[in-house]
Amino acid sequence: MDNPQHKAFDQELAATLSRGRSVAVTGFADRVVGAVRADRRRRVVIRWSSVATAAAACLVAVLTLSVPSEEALNRQTFALFAHDESAQFADLLGASADLSLLSPAVEKSSVAEVLNAPGS
Amino acid sequence: MSQEEPTLPDDEDDKRLMALVAAGDDDALRLLVHRHHARLVGYLRGEVGSQATAEELAMEVFIRLHRAASRWRPEAKLSTYLIHIAHNLVLNEWRRRGRKPTTALEFAAEPGDSSQQSARRVAELDEAFQRAIAQLPPEQRTAILLVVQQELPYEEIAEIMGVPVSSVKTWIHRARSRLRELLKDFYGNE
């Protein structure tokens, strides 16, 4: 640093850089305030839109979870079939219906008429 | 651009104004910007080599300051904090560009030069120095700008750059040596 050439150089460097030390810009503060207000509005919109998105996601989740899946429906159906007494009753009814088909298609009144007929 | 010098920053008043900014007072923000923007733009212009980019980055610094106002703790001077934000933005800018600034620095001769010849000499010197500074590695450029242009102490520069004081001293020493080397021919003509 004691070298006179170095000293001259350092002085020149300091002089050159100090010329650009402070660069005042007219109206800069107003521009910043305008940009900050816009940024503030943007962040409010972003905050509300994220709240709305989260609420919508919750709603969809609730709706989706309240509807049983296809597999669950199948399981429920099989379980109902396994424990359904009405189905067993229906089976019995079906059997009695089959038996009724086998019974003779005659009426009591018609038999009496045959027995009481003249010449019988 | 006007040549008026804003009032000198007052640390205590800065703290008071920051509390008002955190409460949403735009007039307090306006006052803070008025106080600090000139040096911030000067520093950023030295870093990126363009007035427009420097103003754009300075704007971003104040937007970030506003966002952080409620969390700001006055452990350091506000001016140090502002340059710290600016330094981080400059690092991002270099990453975005791929590397350090390559564009020629803008230059305007200072008014009040006694003659055209002296103005031309000042312009040549400025241009030569600015070009040489633009060729420095980023950390050396930042360190030399902060110590010579902004006249900050080593400790504050270390805080801004997030490095030990010894690193700052090394970078400044290397920057001076490199600048002397780059401007050797220019100084040989003296």
- What CA–CA distance (Å, rounded) separates B82 from A86? 81
What is the tens place of the pLDDT at every residue in B159-169?
Answer: 999 999 999 99
Question: What is the token pair recorded at B38?
Answer: 């000139």
Report the distance separating Cα B115 and Cα B146, nearest Å: 31
A chain contacts of residue B180, beta-carbon cutoff 8 Å: 6, 9
Assess contact for B163 and B134: CB atoms under 8 A.
no
pLDDT tens, B83-112? 999 999 999 888 887 755 544 444 444 445
Name chain A contacts of B179, Cβ cutoff 8 Å.
Answer: 9, 13
d(CA B8, CA B35): 7
* Of the partner residues B42, B59, B179, the one whose CB lies closest to the CB of residue A23: B42
| Higher-pLDDT residue of B3, A89 | A89
Distance CA B149, CA B143 (A): 10
Nearest chain A Cα distance for residue B38, angstroms: 4
For residue B9, pLDDT beyond 80: no
Question: In angstroms, what separates the C-alpha of A41 from chain B's closest C-alpha?
Answer: 12
Task: Judge whether residue B190 has pLDDT over 50.
Answer: no
Q: Output the pTM of the full model.
A: 0.68
Contact B114, B68 (CB under 8 A): no
* Closest A-chain CA to B188: A5
Would the CB atoms of A23 and B38 count as touching at under 8 Å? yes
Distance from the A20 Cα atom to the nearest Cα atom in chain B, whole angstroms: 5
Q: Who's near A46: CB < 8 A, 6+ residues apart?
A: none
The residue type found at B62 is F
pLDDT in tens, A36-86: 999 999 989 998 988 888 899 998 888 877 777 788 888 887 887 777 666
Residues 58-77 of B with CB under 8 A from A: 58-59, 62-63, 66-67
The interface residues of chain B toward chain A in range 142-171, judged by CB-CB distance below 8 A, are 144-145, 148-151
> Radius of gyration of chain B from Cα atoms?
18
Residue of A16, A43, A47 best to disrupt the B interface, most CBs of B under 10 A: A16
Chain A interface, best mutation among B17, B65, B148, by max A CB count within 10 A: B148
With residue A3 as reference, give the H or E element that holds it.
Answer: none
Q: Which of B118, B61, B51 is nearest to B90 (CA)?
A: B61
Q: Do B66 and A24 touch (CB under 8 A)?
A: no
Contacts of A14 in chain B (CB under 8 A): 148
The pLDDT score that the predictor gives to residue A1 is: 47
Structure tokens at B52: 């427009």
* Contact across the interface for A25 and B5, Cβ inside 8 Å: no
DSSP B147: I
- Count Cβ atoms within 10 A of the Cβ of residue B61 and give its class: 0-12 exposed, 13-18 middle, 19 or more buried: buried
What contacts B55, CB < 8 A, 6 or more positions away?
A: A25, A28, B41, B44
Give the containing element (helix H, strand E) for A22: none
The beta strand positions in chain B, using DSSP E, are none
pLDDT band at B57 (very low <50, low <70, confident <90, very high): very high
Nearest to B39 among A6, A22, A31 (CB): A22
